[in-house]
Amino acid sequence: MGGGQLWRRVLADLHSVITTTGPMSVASYMKHVLTHPLHGYYVRQKPLDNDRGDFVTSPQLSQMFGEMVGAWTVKEWQLSGKPTSVNFVELGPGTGLLMHDIIQSFTSLTKQEANVVTDVHLVEASPVMSQQQYETLGCGQAPDLSNVDLTRNEEYLTGRGHAGINFHWYRHLWALPKLPGFTFLYAHEFFDTMPTHQFQLTEDGWRERMVDVCDEAPHQLRFVLSPKETVQSKLYASLPLVRTARVGDVGEVSFEAMEQAELVAHTLATSTMGGRALIFDYGDTTKFDDTFRAFRDHQQVHVFDQPGSADLTTDVNFDHLLVAAARSHQVVSHGPVTQRQFLLRCGLQQRADALLASTTDAKARASIEKHTRMLTDPDEMGERFKVMAMTDANADHTPVLFD
């Protein structure tokens, strides 16, 4: 079935699930639409494709972004006593460009010490995306993954790529082995794809927003409020910070994002030499807004419009990630700081100035200026995106730029 028709199959599936078992949570809807093993959006589409993609991310916009993350990594590696065995881990690596740029920057800044990075572990739900990552990371032509069993929790692809590094792909973070050495873990626009529950505060307390079929328009979907509390609405009501909400407010929580944050903490804590994590995403501390939205072809569309043909996302609640990390008792969290603060303190403006000084080409100069603005301006990505760090509990310093 062609990509243009696939959404009809997704919608038919959603209908049969809902009519059989009743309205589904927004989180179940997101999970079904985004990562269903047969026809999930991320499993079948190339959302970051240059020509036909639906959205663009910072690593795609400019190489300077990955260079800054690489520069941070080098400084942090030096401050941590230059551990001789280093792993990189990335959650949801997209096209693989961020990891590519971090490796390039790490190897060029550390020169002969570069071969300390021996293994890179990538957590990716989509075989289509992992094939693209395989090629971006210099492993050669990607093998056919159409028969990969996505329900199995083990390494499903390996390759040897740039700088002689071994690359490993997994479906879930919990499938990673205990890592020997020091670990740097990155997640960029990963947590915003995690299935999110939505609730509304009514006179009777928090009620969960559910997705139901439409009686009057049989091929459409609609939101309904659960008439009673759900297990999730009770859990949400027990979280710190929800008590300031007023009747009518919409609350959101992604228990899967919290679980992933705990797994990140566990990965750092069980790496034999400890480690650091950097999490980049749009979001904020606790707010009572409806942030559930869909993007197709760089336009915002309705979340029920042709499900499976558009990306679905919600803002990340950094308070919830901090709660989950603290609950693990395995790491110390830092931030979040704004992307603007992080990139400017990493030296983005100086890098942009150096690039501008190296070219007289008007088009290239305009593009450097435009991308610097997009990454750092408060009205663009500068303040909507936040950066949070985690260090293993034995770290002897606050990570660079988080002091």
Residue with tokens 């494709």: 49
Amino acid at position 301, single letter: V
CA distance 91 to 125: 9
User: Contact residues for ligand SAM (CB under 6 A)?
Assistant: 34-35, 42, 48, 57, 59-60, 92-94, 98, 123-126, 129, 188-190, 193
CB nearer ligand SAM, residue 11 or residue 129: 129
**Least distance between ligand SAM and beta carbon 42 (Å):** 4
Q: Which lies closer to ligand SAM via its Cβ, residue 186 or residue 236?
A: 186
Cβ proximity of 280 and 187 under 8 Å: yes
Residue placing its CB nearer to ligand SAM in the complex, 226 or 260: 260
CB-nearer residue toward ligand SAM: 124 or 208: 124
Q: Which of 94, 181 has the CB closer to ligand SAM?
A: 94
Q: Report in angstroms how near the CB of residue 366 gets to ligand SAM at its nearest.
A: 23
Least distance to ligand SAM from the beta carbon of 50, Å?
12
Min dist. Cβ of residue 31 to ligand SAM (A)? 8
Shortest Å distance, C-beta 297 to ligand SAM: 15
How many angstroms separate the CA atoms of 257 and 291, rounded?
Answer: 15
Q: Report whether 265 contacts 330 (CB < 8 A).
A: yes
**DSSP-assigned letter for residue 112:** G
Q: Which residue is nearest to ligand SAM (CB)?
A: 92
Residues of the chain by 3-state class (helix, strand, coil), percent to 5: 40, 25, 35
AA identity, residue 123: V
Other CB atoms within 10 A of residue 153 CB: 12
> What is the residue whose two structure tokens read 């309705």?
302
DSSP label at residue 150: T
Q: Tell me how far, at minimum, the Cβ of 161 lies from ligand SAM, in Å.
A: 17
CB nearer to ligand SAM: pick between 65 and 106? 65
